[in-house]
C-alpha cells in the first residue's frame, strides 16, 4: 500500500490538514472542528484518498513560497528536498532557509563522485551560507572516481549508461529515502526544462507512493533567473561558461545559441532523465 494510500475517517478541512507522520498517518489528522461563519469549506469526503487533483487545482497559480509553506505546515516528518544545486534547487533552498525559515528541511545531495568541481564547491558554499542540514549520499563501496572504476568498471557510462545511472543516482536515492524515512520530497523541476516535463504537476506521487512536490513547475527560466538576480543568489559558475544544465562532468557539454537548456545532457543520446525522476 502506498504511503499516501490512506483513508480519511471523517470530513476534514483542507486548511486544517495537520502534520503528516510516516509512522501513523491516520492518527495525525485532526477531527473536524466547528468552522467560523463564512469560512471557505474545502473538504474531502470520508473513505476517499488524498485528492491530488484538488491539491493541484488549488496550487496551480500559487507562488513557490506558498506551496512550500503548505508543505511545512502539513508535513511534520519525512519531508526533504532533493537537489544537485542547479538554479531551481538554489531557489528552493533560499525560500526554505531564508524566506520562510520555519524549520530545517534536510537537503538530499547525491554525490555521484563524477560531479564537476564547481558543483561540489557550490554545495559546500550553500551548506555554509545557509547552515543546511545537508545529507550526502554516494554510490555504495566507493568514495572516489578511482574506487568506483575499480569496483564497477572503467568508463561505465560508455559501456552501460543505465547501470552507471543506477549505481550513481537510483540506488543512492532509494537508500536515502529509506534511511531518512521520506514521505514527501521537493524538487526544482520546471515544465519548460524539457519535453518530458511539459505536463509536470505541482503535486504528484513517485513509484513508491511518496508525495513529490514541484514548487517551480509553472515557473519559466526567465522567472527563475529573475529571482536569482533580485535576491543575489549564488549559482554554478559553469552556467556562465556556456552550460545550460549541469550533471556529471563526462556526460555534460555546453550548449550553443538556440539549443534547449538540457541539450548538453547525454548529448547525442535519447536519454532525457538520469533516473531519479523515473524510478
Q: Which of 197, 176, 217 is nearest to 265 (CA)?
A: 197
List the catalytic residue out of 47, 71, 126, 274.
274
> Is 274 labeled as catalytic in the residue annotation?
yes
* H/E segment holding residue 82: strand 79-82
Grid cell of 12 as nine digits: 476534514
Cell 556529471, residue?
248
| Whole-number Å distance between alpha carbons of 26 and 42 | 19
| Whole-number Å distance between alpha carbons of 210 and 190 | 19
Q: Which residues pair with 136 in a beta bridge?
A: 109
181: left (phi over 0), alpha (psi -120 to 50) or beta: left
CA atoms within 13 A on the CB side of 102: 14
DSSP string, 126-184: HHHHHT--EEEE--TT-SSHHHHHHHH-TTHHHH-HHHHHIIIIIHHHHHHHHHHT-SE
Active site residues: 274
Amino acid at each position: 500500500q502506498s504511503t499516501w494510500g490512506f483513508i480519511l475517517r471523517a470530513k476534514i478541512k483542507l486548511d486544517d490538514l495537520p502534520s503528516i507522520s510516516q509512522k501513523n498517518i491516520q492518527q495525525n489528522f485532526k477531527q473536524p472542528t466547528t468552522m467560523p461563519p463564512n469560512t471557505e469549506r474545502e473538504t474531502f469526503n470520508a473513505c476517499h484518498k488524498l485528492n491530488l487533483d484538488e491539491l493541484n487545482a488549488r496550487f496551480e497559480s500559487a507562488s513557490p513560497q506558498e506551496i512550500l509553506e503548505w508543505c511545512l505546515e502539513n508535513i511534520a516528518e519525512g519531508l526533504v528536498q532533493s537537489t544537485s544545486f542547479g538554479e531551481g534547487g538554489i531557489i528552493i533552498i533560499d525560500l526554505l532557509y531564508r524566506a520562510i525559515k520555519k524549520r530545517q528541511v534536510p537537503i538530499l545531495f547525491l554525490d555521484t563522485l563524477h560531479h564537476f568541481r564547481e558543483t561540489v564547491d557550490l554545495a559546500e558554499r550553500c551548506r555554509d551560507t545557509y547552515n543546511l542540514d545537508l545529507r550526502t549520499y554516494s554510490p555504495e563501496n566507493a568514495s572516489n572516481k578511482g574506487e568506483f572504476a575499480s569496483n564497477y568498471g572503467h568508463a561505465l557510462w560508455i559501456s552501460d549508461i543505465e547501470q552507471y545511472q543506477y549505481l550513481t543516482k537510483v540506488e543512492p536515492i532509494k537508500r536515502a529515502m529509506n534511511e531518512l524515512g521520506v514521505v514527501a520530497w521537493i524538487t526544482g523541476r520546471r515544465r519548460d526544462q524539457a519535453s518530458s516535463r511539459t505536463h509536470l504537476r505541482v503535486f504528484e506521487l513517485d513509484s513508491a507512493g511518496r508525495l513529490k512536490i514541484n514548487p517551480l513547475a509553472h515557473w519559466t527560466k526567465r522567472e527563475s533567473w529573475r529571482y536569482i538576480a533580485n535576491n543575489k543568489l549564488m549559482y554554478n559558475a559553469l552556467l556562465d561558461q556556456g552550460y545550460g544544465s549541469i550533471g556529471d562532468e563526462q556526460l555534460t557539454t555546453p550548449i550553443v545559441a538556440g539549443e534547449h537548456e538540457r541539450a548538453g545532457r547525454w548529448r547525442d543520446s535519447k536519454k532525457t532523465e538520469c533516473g531519479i525522476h523515473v524510478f
